[in-house]
Structure 1
Amino acid sequence: MIENQMTTGENGISRRLFLATAAGAAMASLPSNASAQQTASPRVLTFSDHEPLGGMRTRFLKDVLFPAIERQSNGRLKIEDHWNGEIAAAYDALGAVSTSKADMATVVPEYTAKELPLHQIFKSFPTGPAGSAQVDFFRRVYAEVPAFPAELEKNNIVPFFCGTGYPVAFFSTKPMAGLDGLKGGKWRSASFWHLDFLRNAGATPVTMHWGPEIYDALKAGTLDGLMVNVDSGYMLKVHEAAPNVLVSKDLWLGHLYMLTINKDVWNTLAQEDKDAIARAAETSYRALGPVMDRSFDAQLAELKTAGASVRILEPAEPVRFGSAAKYRDVQSAWAEEQKRSGTGIAGAVLAEVTAIMNDIMG
Structure 2
Amino acid sequence: MARFATAAIYGSAALVLATFAGWSSAAHSQTTLTMSSWVPPSHLLTKDVLSVWAQNVEKATEGRVKFQMLAKHPSAAPGTFDAVRDGLVDVSYVTASYTPARHIFPLLPELPGGGATAEINSVAFSRIHWKYFQPVNEYKGVKLLGVFTHGPGQMFNTKRPITKVEDLAGMKIRSGGGISEQMARALGASAFVKPAPESYELLSSGVADGTFFPLESIISFKLDSVVKYATLFPGGFYGSAFGFFMNEDKWNKLSKADQDAIMSVSGEALARLAGKAWDATDRAALEVMKKANIQIEEASPELIKGVQERSKDIIEKWKKDATAKGVDGAKVFAEFHEELKRVAASN
The two structures have a TM-score, normalised by structure 2, of 0.76
Q: Secondary structure at the match of 2:139?
A: helix
State the one-letter code of the partner of 1:266.
Answer: W
Distance 1:199 1:258 in 2: 25
Q: Which residue of 2 aligns with 1:273?
A: 258
Q: Which residue of 2 aligns with 1:290?
A: 276
Q: Which runs of 5+ in 2 are unaligned?
A: 1-25, 342-347
Q: Deviations over 1:238-257 (max 9, x none)?
A: 45444121124511543123
Q: Secondary structure at the match of 1:40?
A: helix
State the one-letter code of the partner of 2:34.
Answer: T
Matching of residue 350 in structure 1 with residue 335 in structure 2: no
Matches within 5 A, 1:13-162: 40-41=27-28, 42-85=30-73, 87-123=74-110, 125-129=111-115, 130-146=117-133, 150-153=137-140, 156-162=141-147
Distance 2:136 2:36 in 1: 20
Q: Which residue of 2 aligns with 1:359?
A: 338
Displacement of 1:260 in angstroms is 0.4
Q: Which residue of 2 aligns with 1:301?
A: 287
Matching of residue 258 in structure 1 with residue 243 in structure 2: yes
State the one-letter code of the partner of 2:31.
Answer: R
Q: Which residue of 2 aligns with 1:332?
A: 316
Displacement of 1:63 in angstroms is 4.0
Q: CA, structure 1 residues 297+313, in 2 after alignment: closer, same or farther (shift >3 Å)?
A: farther
State the one-letter code of the partner of 2:312.
Answer: R
Displacement of 1:174 in angstroms is 4.4
Q: Which residue of 2 aligns with 1:26?
A: none
Q: Does the CA-based 8 Å contact 2:87-2:247 persist in structure 1?
A: yes
Residue from 202, 206, 214 that aligns with 2:191: 206
Q: CA, structure 1 residues 344+359, in 2 after alignment: closer, same or farther (shift >3 Å)?
A: closer
Q: Does the CA-based 8 Å contact 2:95-2:241 persist in structure 1?
A: yes
Displacement of 1:79 in angstroms is 1.4
Displacement of 1:198 in angstroms is 3.5
Distance 1:91 1:352 in 2: 30
Q: CA RMSD in A?
A: 3.0
Distance 1:250 1:44 in 2: 39
Distance 1:332 1:137 in 2: 20
Q: Secondary structure at the match of 1:257?
A: strand
Displacement of 1:291 in angstroms is 3.0
Distance 1:50 1:320 in 2: 36
State the one-letter code of the partner of 2:57.
Answer: I
Q: Deviations over 1:157-198 (max 9, x none)?
A: 121122432322212334426244525341414225334434
State the one-letter code of the partner of 2:131.
Answer: E
Q: Does the CA-based 8 Å contact 2:33-2:66 persist in structure 1?
A: yes
Distance 1:277 1:233 in 2: 32
Q: CA, structure 1 residues 330+77, in 2 after alignment: closer, same or farther (shift >3 Å)?
A: same
Q: Secondary structure at the match of 1:230?
A: coil
Q: Does the CA-based 8 Å contact 1:171-1:243 persist in structure 2?
A: yes
Distance 1:305 1:178 in 2: 22
State the one-letter code of the partner of 2:151.
Answer: Y
Q: Deviations over 1:303-342 (max 9, x none)?
A: 111121223447x6775243232x2312434666x5xxxx
Displacement of 1:277 in angstroms is 0.6
Distance 1:241 1:360 in 2: 37
Displacement of 1:356 in angstroms is 2.9
Q: Does the CA-based 8 Å contact 1:246-1:312 persist in structure 2?
A: yes
Q: Secondary structure at the match of 2:32?
A: strand
Displacement of 1:296 in angstroms is 0.9
Q: CA, structure 1 residues 83+161, in 2 after alignment: closer, same or farther (shift >3 Å)?
A: farther
Distance 1:89 1:103 in 2: 16
Residue from 143, 148, 152 that aligns with 1:167: 152
